[in-house]
Amino acid sequence: MNIVKFVFNPIQENTYLLWDETLECIIIDAGNCSAAEDSRLAEFIAEYGLKPVMAVNTHGHFDHIMGVNFLKQTYGVQFALSSKDEYLRATAQQSCAMFGIAAVVEAPQIDIDLDSVESIKFGNTELKVIKTPGHTPGGVVLFEPQSKQLFTGDTLFRESIGRTDLPGGEYGTIIRSILNNIIPLGDEVVLYPGHSEKSTIGHESLYNPFVVEALNGEVNY
């Protein structure tokens, strides 16, 4: 499986483009929000002869769905998001304005409810959908077990975790999601987060202060 990261929009969000030998591809957390960013993504897809089939979202915050409508209109992709984050999709434009960002966010209706599927497929590749609420009620991570690659959205970052002070967030829930659903996947698993640089579960178990204090029983969650 091939992975390319784009950093898009004023929030510096990580958008991931994945493809395999079939050239079918998916876009995880499409945050492109300008003509220039749309062109960067489209030019890469064209250069490699890729066939976009799905826009998949780890959660529904506006900075992660700003580019979904472009993908839908340009390539006819399906849009996958948990229905538990529908309220975030529906209010994305208002959220964008609250952050002072002058952009139009017109996220399409959900085609695939990630709350009701165990995996998503493209080409010969299958990603497991693992529910990780806490940052948002419908948050998920996407796991490719053979290559041990995990797309964590805003649940787990390099030496940090996602915010829980936004509507729908809850600290205890995100900590339980990390400890119960992410850490057991194994130290060697590579993390591709929604912001900042990649990491591993092993690194986070040693150096992420939120994870370490929870593993050591130093915090109630």
Average pLDDT over the chain reads 95
Handedness of CA 203, 162, 186, 28 (dihedral sign): negative
Q: Is residue 221 part of a domain?
A: no
Q: What are phi and psi of 152, to 5 degrees?
A: -100, 0
Separation of alpha carbons 167 and 67, rounded Å: 22
The count of domains in the chain is 1
Q: Per-residue pLDDT tens for 9-53?
A: 999 999 999 999 999 999 999 999 999 999 999 999 999 999 999
Of the candidates 6, 2, 1, the one whose C-alpha atom is nearest the C-alpha of residue 194 is: 6
CATH of the domain at 135: 3.60.15.10
Q: Is residue 156 part of a domain?
A: yes
Q: Per-residue pLDDT tens for 59-97?
A: 999 999 999 999 999 999 999 999 999 999 888 888 877
Q: Is residue 107 part of a domain?
A: yes
Parent domain of 110:
2-215
Q: Is residue 220 part of a domain?
A: no
Q: Please list, residue by residue across 184-214, b when 16 or more beta carbons sit within 10 angstroms of its beta carbon and e when fewer do.
A: ebeeebbbbbbbeebbbbebbbeebebbeeb
Q: How many helices (H) and strands (E) does the chain have?
A: 8, 14
Longest alpha-carbon distance in the chain? 51
Q: Helix, strand, coil proportions of the chain in percent (round to 5)?
A: 30, 30, 40
Residue 99 has pLDDT above 90, yes or no: no
